[in-house]
């Protein structure tokens, strides 16, 4: 594959690597054009790809008016994302398909755990933390927030990185903060949100990805969904290459989570093609691939229903999503 990320041969297993990275923006554009024009999912395979996409969704609600009842509804939807008719059409048992996780604010983690428990579903609860979405609080408070979410039952913590440190090139300080966050997560997985829309250059995206992985992130995640620019394919490609390079140099496999603005079946199929082509089939499973999305499931349901009945339902006909 063409090298998009250039790292000097004499790199060390330390932050010296970061200073030697640059991304060729034109090569990123070319690779994506090539990928999207030469690869597609055949019509006959789209239903199974979309079912797989459902399993990778971190079904998310991150709203100011979240409350126990809508979090319970989210948990129900995550536990039984498709109607019986749709699961039958996919040849699956009714309780065989769930989303990858539910994702909520720290104050709603206990509600989500209770809801999933009532539904008898063994799905992880992911919590955003560290002053999500901006991260603009003291480090001590950000670490306390992680611990609060973990104590309430979150098995995955979606932290936000400190953008000031990234934008001013203080990669060592960023690394130190992330190591402290990793430690606060304990046994829970850490997903590091880079807020790529605020990092200005693809080179910064690559550097932030590498620092986050070096600090022990289980996943790197594009965005909070609250920035002006969220998950885009060029940014995703750069992050995938960082994951690949990191794996090649260290043997560690880090997961990837695009999030923010992924709303249609067409969008998600493009992301899955990117995963398959850049990182391989393992990155089409929810062990290594998650999609942070609040509205995507609705469109997938409508798309699958369309394949059965040849009628594209309205969003209102799938109200729970």
In contact, 194 and 206? CB cutoff 8 Å: no
Of the residues 77, 155, 191, 257, only one is catalytic, namely 257
Q: Which residues contact 296 (CB under 8 A, 6 or more apart)?
A: 53, 57, 262, 263, 264, 267, 268
Q: What angle separates helix 233-250 from helix 25-38, to the nearest 10 degrees? A: 100
Strand partners, 157: 127, 190
Q: Which is nearer to ligand G3H, 185 or 193 (CB)?
A: 193
Q: Which is nearer to ligand G3H, 17 or 289 (CB)?
A: 289
Of the residues 77, 191, 221, 244, only one is catalytic, namely 221
Give yes or no: 114 in active site: no
User: Out of 179, 287, 295, 320, which residue is the one contacting ligand G3H (CB under 6 A)?
Assistant: 295
Q: Which stretch binds ligand G3H (CB under 6 A): 81-89, 115-123, 234-242, 286-294?
A: 286-294
- Residue 294 touching ligand G3H (CB under 6 A): yes
- Residue 292 touching ligand G3H (CB under 6 A): yes
Question: Over the range 256-277, which residues count as b (16 or more CB within 10 Å of their CB) and which as e?
Answer: bbbbbbbebbebbbbbbbbbbb
Q: What is the CA radius of gyration of the chain?
A: 19
- Residue 126 touching ligand G3H (CB under 6 A): no
Beta strand 5-6 pairing with 22-23? antiparallel
Length of the chain: 321
Give yes or no: 24 in active site: no
Q: Which is nearer to ligand G3H, 175 or 256 (CB)?
A: 256
- Residue 259 touching ligand G3H (CB under 6 A): yes
Other CB atoms within 10 Å distance of the CB of residue 106: 22
Number of amino acids touching ligand G3H (CB under 6 A): 12
Spell out, one character per residue from 81 to 110, where the chain touches ligand G3H: x when CB under 6 A holds, - when not.
----------------------x-------
Residues in contact with ligand G3H by the rule CB under 6 A: 60, 62, 103, 224-225, 259-261, 292-295
Residues classed as catalytic: 158, 221, 257
């Amino acid at each position: 594959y063409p090298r998009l990320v250039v790292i000097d041969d004499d790199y060390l297993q330390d932050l010296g690597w970061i200073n030697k990275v640059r991304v060729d923006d034109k090569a990123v554009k070319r690779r994506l054009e090539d990928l999207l024009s030469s690869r597609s999912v055949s019509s006959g395979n789209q239903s199974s790809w979309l079912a797989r996409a459902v399993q990778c969704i971190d079904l998310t609600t991150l709203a100011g008016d979240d409350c126990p009842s809508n979090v319970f509804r989210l948990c129900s939807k995550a536990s039984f994302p498709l109607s019986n008719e749709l699961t039958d059409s996919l040849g699956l048992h009714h309780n065989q398909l769930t989303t990858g996780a539910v994702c909520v604010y720290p104050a709603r983690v206990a509600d989500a755990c209770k809801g999933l428990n009532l539904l008898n579903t063994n799905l992880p609860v992911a919590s955003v933390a560290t002053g999500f979405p901006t991260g603009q609080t003291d480090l001590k408070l950000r670490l306390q927030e992680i611990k609060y979410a973990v104590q309430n039952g979150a098995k995955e913590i979606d932290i936000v990185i400190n953008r000031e440190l990234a934008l001013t090139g203080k990669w060592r300080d960023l690394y130190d903060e992330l190591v402290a966050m990793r430690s606060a997560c304990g046994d829970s997985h850490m997903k590091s949100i880079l807020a790529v829309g605020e990092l200005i250059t693809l080179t910064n995206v690559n550097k932030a990805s590498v620092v986050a992985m070096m600090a022990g992130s289980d996943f790197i995640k594009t965005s909070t969904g609250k920035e002006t620019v969220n998950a885009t394919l060029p940014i995703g490609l750069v992050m995938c290459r960082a994951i690949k390079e990191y794996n090649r140099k260290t043997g560690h496999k880090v997961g990837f989570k695009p999030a923010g603005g992924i709303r249609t079946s067409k969008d998600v199929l493009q992301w899955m093609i990117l995963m398959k082509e850049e990182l391989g089939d393992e990155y089409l499973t929810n062990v290594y691939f998650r999609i942070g999305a609040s509205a995507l499931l609705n469109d997938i349901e409508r798309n699958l229903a369309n394949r059965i009945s040849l009628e594209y339902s309205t969003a209102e006909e799938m109200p729970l999503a």
